[in-house]
Amino acid sequence: EAGTGSGERVFGGTSGATPMISGSAALLLQAHPRSEPLEIKARLINTAATSIQTDRFAEPGALAPITRIGGGEVRVNRAFGTNTVAWDAEDLTPSISFGYQAMNDPATYDKTIAVHNYDNKGRTYSIKTDFRYGSDAANPAVDLDAPPTITVPAHGTGTFKLRLRVNP
C-alpha cells in the first residue's frame, strides 16, 4: 500500500476474511464439484492454522486468543490436500462448540463427531483432546473425554462421542 514505507499493510477483519474465504471456497468447489457446503466448510476449518501468535506488540510467542482467530487462518493448500474432515454430527458444523453455559452445579455435555474419510482405503485415526493454553489443561474444572481411536472405511463416515465435564 502506498505511503507505508514497505508497500505492506495489515489486512484483516471481515473485510479481509470474506474475500479470502469466498475465494478459497470457490477454488475447492471447482476441484470438488459434488461436495456439499458442509464439506467445503469442514475442509477449510479443519485444515486452518490455529497456532497464530498475538500481534507484534504483545509478548513474543504468545498465542492469540481464540476470539481473535476464530477457526484459524485459512490454508487452502491443506484444504485441497486433506483426505479427512470432521464435524458435529448433530449441529452439522465443523466448529465444535458446547456454547456458553451458565452453571452452578457440575454438568456433562456430549457431542457426536462425524469423521469422513475421502481416501480409497480405510483409515484409523488417533483422537487427542487438549487445551489451547497450558493453564486451562492444568485446571481440573474442565475435562474432555474421547475414545483413543476411530476406524473409518474408505469413502465412509464414522462417529465418536466427545464428552465435556464441567465442575464450576
Express each pLDDT in 111-129 by its tens digit: 999 999 999 999 999 999 9
* R_g of the chain, CA atoms, integer Å: 19
Express each pLDDT in 62-117 by its tens digit: 888 877 777 888 999 999 999 999 999 999 999 888 988 899 999 999 999 999 99
Q: Is the dihedral of CA 26, 28, 34, 39 positive or negative?
A: negative
- Residue 11's CB is within 10 A of a number of other CB atoms, namely 11
| Cβ partners under 8 Å of residue 35, min gap 6 | 28, 29, 43
The pTM score is 0.84
Share of the chain above pLDDT 90, in %: 63
The upper half-sphere exposure of residue 105, i.e. CA atoms within 13 Å in the direction of its Cβ, equals 0
